[in-house]
Amino acid sequence: MTASTSLASLASVRASSKASSGKRRLYANNNVVTAFGTRCDDARKTTRRRRRRSWTTARWRTRGERAVVVARCASEEEKEEEEAAYAESFDAQTGQMVKTLTQSIEKVDVLGQTWTQRRGRPADPKGGTTTTTTAKKKEHPIVFIHGVGSCAYTFRQVSVLLQEKGYETYAPDVVGHGDSEKSNGFKYDEKSYVEAMEAYVEKVGNGKQVDLVAHGFIIPQYAILLARKRPDLFRRMVLMNTPLDGNHNLAPPLATYTQMFGRGKGKPFDAVSLNYMGNEFGIPGDDLKEYERAYVGSDAENARMAVEMTVTNADFKNLKKKVKDAYFQGGMPKTRIVWGVTDEYLDQAPMFSWASDVRASEKALRKVGHMPQEDYPQVTADAVDEFLASDLKVSALGSVRGRKVLVDDGQG
């Protein structure tokens, strides 16, 4: 099944299970401003600075209409006071244009590689938007890390919900993925990923510990090994549907590259299947295209090779053992497992056992599949915030440790 045919067939199977929200996506020189809500005709990002401003303006057409985005050009050394990024969208109920919270799209240098990140700032407490907040800005920023074959776009909705709660968020397209660089000698092995993520976290943390939220295959496991190497970088960690136990296996679109005698070498990567088939609910076609975009564009072969090399360079069985040993050795940041129990790729039972063994709290999400951030972003954001803001007492966390969810109990 090719990527294009899989997109058409899969979208038709579950199109009715999750209606499209009418999002409109705006592109300019690979910088994307995405509006959440109804139709978006005009998106503007504004930045308030202490020092001299430097601006560039990009103009382009989208779906026959004209849109203008004001983008910031500034060196890393410039000190700045920055407001949250908002997009103007049309509210069909009121018939008026409203501001909707989103993230800015930025480029960042990481060990000589150009990464793209979605940076979310806390909602404006002064009001005047659809997403105002009275929440106090949190001290520690959140860094989201996606799995192999995914991208930062997967965290867009959860990020907004956490921004409303006062968090600053950073979601990078890890090297080789999304809009980040996909060549220039990166080896896509454990050492290279750990060193790159270490440099990235140091850069965005800027002297503060960050809270890590990771989801997916292989790259989040490398992030755990980074936390073992540099626990000083992280305050707390939330792991969402990532392989932890020895009984957890790679999803089929990734496992194809592990076939004996190299039979998977050079095969196309099915990004649509990976990011669709493990979920409880369907993903709208426009969002699936965003997951697929890197693998059908001008740099598609380099993107495909990044996935293949990441999988083939990972000793997956040994990697799971390293992750568990990291917790047994002690000194790891406090960890919570947030798990969609209807995951088609990763069984829930090993997760409960793993969490008990390493003394991690867990939150089982009913009616949620492999990607909690897509299936039920509000509940996922609440589960993350509950842990990051808690005093770490089990009673406060409401952990259901050790209790396997066999049937729907109406709590999700």
Q: Kindly report the backbone phi and psi dihedral angles of residue 181, in degrees, each rounded to the nearest multiple of 5, phi listed first.
A: -60, 145
Q: Which residue has the tokens 């406090």?
A: 334
Q: Report which of residues 284 and 34 the model is more confident about.
A: 284
Task: Name the token pair of 95.
Answer: 């018939």
Share of the chain above pLDDT 70, in %: 71
- Residue 41 located in a structural domain: no
| Averaged pLDDT, 113-130 | 79
Burial of 331: CB neighbours in 10 Å, binned 0-12, 13-18, 19+: exposed
pLDDT of residue 242: 97
State residue 261's pLDDT score.
Answer: 86
Domain assignment present for 48: no
> Does 84 reside within a domain?
no
Question: How far apart (Å, rounded) are the C-alpha atoms in residues 412 and 408?
Answer: 8
- The single residue listed with the structure tokens 């501001």 is 99
Buried b (16+ CB within 10 A) or exposed e, 298-326: eebebbbbbbbbbbbebebeebbeebbeb
Give the pLDDT mean for 7-20: 44
pLDDT category at 82 given cuts 50, 70, 90 is: low
What CATH number does the domain containing 319 carry? 3.40.50.1820
pLDDT at position 124: 74
**Residue 98 above 90 pLDDT?**
no
Q: What is the pLDDT of residue 34?
A: 34
Six-digit token pair at 91?
């509210």
Question: Is 74 within the bounds of a domain?
Answer: no
Q: Strands, E, within 124-233: which ranges?
A: 142-145, 169-173, 210-215
Give the residue among 80, 137, 56 at the shortest CA–CA distance from 389.
137
Single-letter residue type at 38: T
Task: Give the range among 20-24, 85-89, 169-173 with minimum mean pLDDT.
Answer: 20-24
C-beta of residue 236 within 8 angstroms of C-beta of residue 345: no
The reported pLDDT for the residue numbered 134 is 63
What's the pLDDT tens digit per position in 379-399?
999 999 999 998 865 444 444
pLDDT band at 63 (very low <50, low <70, confident <90, very high): very low
DSSP letter (8 states) at residue 152:
G
**Which of 101-105, 207-211, 355-359 is the most confident on average?**
207-211
| The dihedral sign for the CA sequence 185, 189, 191, 192 | positive
**Residues spanned by the domain of 312:** 3-20+102-397
The closest alpha carbon to 237, from 219, 212, 217, belongs to: 212
Flag whether 67 is in a domain.
no
Between the CA of residue 124 and those of 47, 204, 386, 409, what are the distances in Å?
Answer: 13, 21, 22, 38
Q: Tell me the two tokens of residue 130.
A: 């659809």
- Say if strands 361-365 and 334-340 run parallel, antiparallel, or are unpaired: parallel
Q: Is 57 helix (H, G, I), strand (E, B) or coil?
A: strand
Residue 71 has pLDDT above 80, yes or no: no
Tell me, yes or no, whether 79 lies in a domain: no
Least confident of 76-80, 159-163, 369-373: 76-80
pLDDT at 37: 33
The residue ranges of DSSP E strands in 121-217, in sequence order, are 142-145, 169-173, 210-215
Rounded to two decimals, what is the model's pTM?
A: 0.76
74 pLDDT tier (thresholds 50, 70, 90): very low
For the chain, the straight-line distance linking the first and the last C-alpha, in angstroms and rounded, comes to: 34
Q: How many domains does the chain have?
A: 1
% pLDDT > 90, the chain: 60
Given pLDDT bands bounded at 50, 70 and 90, which one contains residue 361?
Answer: very high
For the ranges 95-99, 200-204, 222-226, the lowest mean pLDDT is seen at 95-99
What average pLDDT score do residues 101-117 get? 94
Whether residue 231 has pLDDT greater than 60: yes
Q: Is 292 strand, coil or helix? A: helix
Task: Look at 13 and 307; give whichever has higher pLDDT.
Answer: 307
Predicted confidence (pLDDT) per residue in 127-182, tens digit: 544 445 567 889 999 999 999 999 999 999 999 999 999 999 999 999 999 999 99
pLDDT at 342 > cutoff 50: yes
- At residue 347 the predicted structure's pLDDT band, cuts being 50, 70 and 90, is very high
For residues 321-336, average pLDDT: 94
Calpha distance 196→187 (Å, rounded) = 11
What average pLDDT does the chain have?
79
How many helical (H) and strand (E) elements, i.e. helices and strands, does the chain have?
13, 17
Q: What is the pLDDT of residue 337?
A: 97
404 has pLDDT over 50: no
Query: How many C-beta neighbours within 10 Å does residue 212 have?
Result: 25
